Amino acid sequence: HHNVPPLSPVSENTQPNSRKRVRSASILQSYNVGATNVTLQEHTVGRDQRADVLGKHEGFRGCTIWFTGLSGAGKTTVSFALEKALTQMGIPCYGLDGDNVRHGLCQNLGFSKEDRTENIRRVAEVSKLFADAGMVTLSSFISPFRCDRDSAREIHKTSGLPFFEVYVDAPLEVCESRDPKDLYKKARKGQVQGMTGIDSVYEPPAAADLVLHSGKDSKEDCIKAVIDFLVEKGVIPEKALSSLSSSPVRQLFVAPSSRLSLERELREVKHEIELDIVELQWLQVLSEGWASPLYGFMRERQYLQSLHFGQLLDLKRKCLFPGEVDSNEEDDDHSQFNMDGPINQSVPIVLTITKEKKESLTTDGCVAPVISLSYGGKRVAILRRGEIFEHRRTERAARQFGSIDERHPGVAQVLHSGEFCVGGDIEVVDRITYGDGLDGVRYTPIELRRILAEKEADAVFVFQLRNPIHNGHALLMRETRAKLLEKYRNPILLLHPLGGWTKDDDVPLDVRIRQHKAVIEEGLLGADWTVLSIFPSPMMYAGPTEVQWHARARLAAGVHTYIVGRDPAGIADPASESGEALYEVEHGAKVLSMAPGLSHLNVIPFRVAAYDKKACEMAMFDSSRKEDFEFISGTAMRGLAREGLTPPNGFMAEKAWTILADYYREKNNQ
């Protein structure tokens, strides 16, 4: 359903140009809000229109939740917690209770039966107004008399507004033992008259919409019960629940209870795709939730979104042609996943197959409903509801890399892969491991969140690298931490070397991990504030496109600060004889800082460090005395190592250098 766009003429001269706009008498003038524009209809704003303005979810959800019960039963506690939770979910709400009413609206009322009735009547009328305004109104009042509560319900009913009576039911003994305001004590002593439960009656609801056993159940359970109830009643949309858990991570491991049946199913599946190592690494990335909320290898829908917009716009399965309706859409529970804003996904994650493989997976134009994915002869995952679509490799390389040069190792991988892609929902049997002695430093995003929570991190900054660490890097990480310490108590560094496929001349992962450990052992990075872990993604060398992936994937682990270097994920232009960079060296950081879906990420630039010959240490490059600095490139470093020379004192921690030098020497000897 589409609304008609207003067809009124609009501002012809919202002059954007350099001359300062002279503020006219009416600010409105500059918007040319003529009589044709400001809508001046007489009719009032309806609930539907109001609903569009309020909260983060569609639809009018004005209603009143009326908490009744003895003093001390927990009405206000539950109501406050609920207000908090609703706000977190983006649902507009407002709490009314004795505190904001007895001193204001009802200050001229006492505690006689008549005054109590008038008190409840007024509060009920105000609740109705708030509900009418589209708010979830949380009214917490002892409201001891049944007839008063029934009147409150009636007032709402007349206005067509939902009213839910929630009985917060705790035994008098419990309430009296809590006695938060010492009212029971005073009543027992006769200092307070008309205390409900002592010398005034409480009439429990005959048919409450919900009863909370706040005497025996915990506060948490009570709140969960209310939230469940409100979901059931449609006041809270189910989607909103996910915002209660922070940026959820979607893992693709089979549930423990279904593991056996999945293994059984896998043994019987007729169709199989054999993964190569890079595909296995992507499967690991997906299964551990680094690309959350992706639920498998991309379908055409996600593939086009990623290639054209660098993001996931939704999680639906089918790539629909306009006018086409997906008959299975209701079954599409992925759309249930909360997608409040755009989710950055600049790189496609696809599983490619050849034309021949496509034929073997297809019967009468239908893709096999289940396909096993195997690696090294072992069936590691299942792909369901498979969908086969064209890879269009050259176009993909052009859009992802901005280049179709086959000498680029990332482009080459794409151009040499299959002509088709299989998208589908993935379930992985076991966590993917490599038995290379490094599995112990391969943490999933959820494990990292736990580790970081145990360390009581209140800020997490990540350092992405695929090269050995020199003292310049370490300096930068220390400086970043110092900067974060101005605002945070305990910033933790996630030292997160990329562990997937890299081009041949990069230093192998095991050497790098030993080198990284040495840097920590030598104290250049504090062991107490550093978590070393391997990032399972393969490398692509896709520059500005890839740096977004590197940053976005780490969000899953709870990272909030990303250090971006010069020419991140860049590579030399294979067409350039002088070895010029393929990507403009600042584009990576610039694009990263503007990328949709990353606006909450704190991006810190990697300032250039170089060897300060005067101070004999790595230092931030100071262009005012450039003659004092020496840039030691990777090539230069490799040269030194090969020839058994040592780099200048202070360039790299000694132990770390030894590891690297040994590696290059050995490589040289081969």
Of 2-21, which residues contact a copy of itself (CB under 8 A)? Answer: 2-19, 21
Quick one: CA dihedral 279, 414, 586, 475, positive or negative? positive
Give the contact letters, 431-470, x = binds to a copy of itself (CB under 8 A), - = no. ---------------x--xx-xx---xxxx----------
Q: What is the DSSP letter of 524?
A: S
- Minimum distance of a copy of itself from residue 649's CB (angstroms): 31
- Work out which of 114, 207, 322, 330 binds a copy of itself, going by CB under 8 A: 322
What is residue 567's three-state secondary structure? coil
Roughly what angle, to the nearest 10 degrees, separates helices 75-88 and 219-232? 60
Residues 6+ apart with CB under 8 A from 101: 119, 122, 123, 126
Window 91-110: residues binding a copy of itself (CB under 8 A) = 91-96, 100, 104-105, 108
Beta bridge partners of 460: 492
Give the contact letters, 50-89, x = binds to a copy of itself (CB under 8 A), - = no. x-xxxxx--------------------x--xx-xxx-xx-
Residues 6+ apart with CB under 8 A from 243: 88, 89, 90, 338, 340
- Work out which of 206, 320, 485, 616 binds a copy of itself, going by CB under 8 A: 320
Please state, in angstroms and rounded to a whole number, the distance separating the CA atoms of residues 539 and 549: 10
- Minimum distance of a copy of itself from residue 448's CB (angstroms): 9
- Minimum distance of a copy of itself from residue 595's CB (angstroms): 7
Residue 273 neighbours by CB distance under 10 Å: 22
Window 180-199: residues binding a copy of itself (CB under 8 A) = none
What is residue 240's three-state secondary structure? helix
- Work out which of 59, 90, 171, 215 binds a copy of itself, going by CB under 8 A: 90
Q: Is 546 in the site for a copy of itself (CB under 8 A)?
A: no
Q: Is 392 in the site for a copy of itself (CB under 8 A)?
A: yes
Window 25-54: residues binding a copy of itself (CB under 8 A) = 26-28, 31-33, 35, 37-45, 49-50, 52-54
- Minimum distance of a copy of itself from residue 290's CB (angstroms): 14
- Residue position matching structure tokens 């042609």: 321
Q: Is-contact 375 430, C-beta < 8 A?
A: no
Report CA-CA distances (Å) from 245 to 83, 85, 88, 375, 425. 16, 11, 10, 34, 23
Q: Is 328 in the site for a copy of itself (CB under 8 A)?
A: no
In the complex with a copy of itself, which residue's Cβ is closer, 195 or 492? Answer: 492
Please state, in angstroms and rounded to a whole number, the distance separating the CA atoms of residues 421 and 411: 16
In the complex with a copy of itself, which residue's Cβ is closer, 336 or 354? Answer: 336
Binding footprint of a copy of itself, residue count (CB under 8 A) = 172
Q: Is-contact 457 490, C-beta < 8 A?
A: yes
- Minimum distance of a copy of itself from residue 569's CB (angstroms): 14
Window 594-653: residues binding a copy of itself (CB under 8 A) = 594-596, 600-605
Q: Is 313 in the site for a copy of itself (CB under 8 A)?
A: yes
- Minimum distance of a copy of itself from residue 99's CB (angstroms): 9
Tokens describing residue 404: 């179709």
Residue 117 neighbours by CB distance under 10 Å: 16
Tokens describing residue 441: 């430093």
- Work out which of 430, 521, 584, 666 binds a copy of itself, going by CB under 8 A: 584
Q: Is 375 in the site for a copy of itself (CB under 8 A)?
A: no
